[in-house]
Amino acid sequence: MSADIKVFHANDSALYFEGKGKRILVDGIYGGDIRNGGTVRDLGMSNMPREYFRMMIRGSGILSDPDILLFTHDHADHFNRDMTSEYMSSHRRTRIFLPEDGISDIMPVRKDDRYWEANEEGLRIGILSADHLDLTKDKSMYSGVVSRSYILDFRGRRFMVSGDSVLDESLLRVMEKNDAGSIDCIFVNVIH
């Protein structure tokens, strides 16, 4: 990594980026119940450590005062609605993007049917639409899940966060078509 960009892997899917005057937290407020009545712990994932969250609320520690919160999708191992709302109520200057949820205040420009782009004061955010990874036999468990991957471009240093997106050749073609194909570092989940 370049000394001008710092990356902290907070826990599970949470990544914190700091550089070029911006602080971005991706999938960093998460945990709790999952849709079928279990918890993220039942999936082998962790809840966001309460101390991390308390420190965020206070504006202290490694995750202090992110300028932008990005979420790849709204599954509990990546996003917790109640905690995010609590955080946003006391940190109104923080910008947020959650695909297809209606709580986003970052309004990206559509470049084609699978790629959007947002510019946040020198930070270019590429937003890729992809299918959610599904390893079930009939591939129906996650059909219809809105899933995004992000390319964070810190003035030429590019980092990709895949979330639970399917990484395939069609996604690579979308990236190349939209001048987002050259990535310095990609963060993938263990299952990839």
Share of the chain above pLDDT 90, in %: 48
Q: What angle do CA 162, 165, 171 make, to 5 degrees?
A: 85
What mean pLDDT is predicted for residues 146-163?
Answer: 92
Give the DSSP H/E element, type plus range, for residue 97: strand 95-97
pLDDT at 137: 81
Q: What angle do CA 87, 161, 170 make, to 5 degrees?
A: 135
| Tens digits of residue pLDDT in 5-59 | 999 988 778 999 999 889 999 999 988 776 666 666 666 677 888 888 999 999 9
What mean pLDDT is predicted for residues 78-99?
Answer: 91
Q: 102 versus 117: which is more confidently predicted?
A: 117
Computed over every residue of the chain, the mean pLDDT equals 86
- Is the pLDDT confidence value at 104 over 70? yes
Share of the chain above pLDDT 70, in %: 89
**Sequence-separated (6 or more) residues with CB below 8 Å from residue 134:** 140, 141, 142, 143
pLDDT at 1: 45
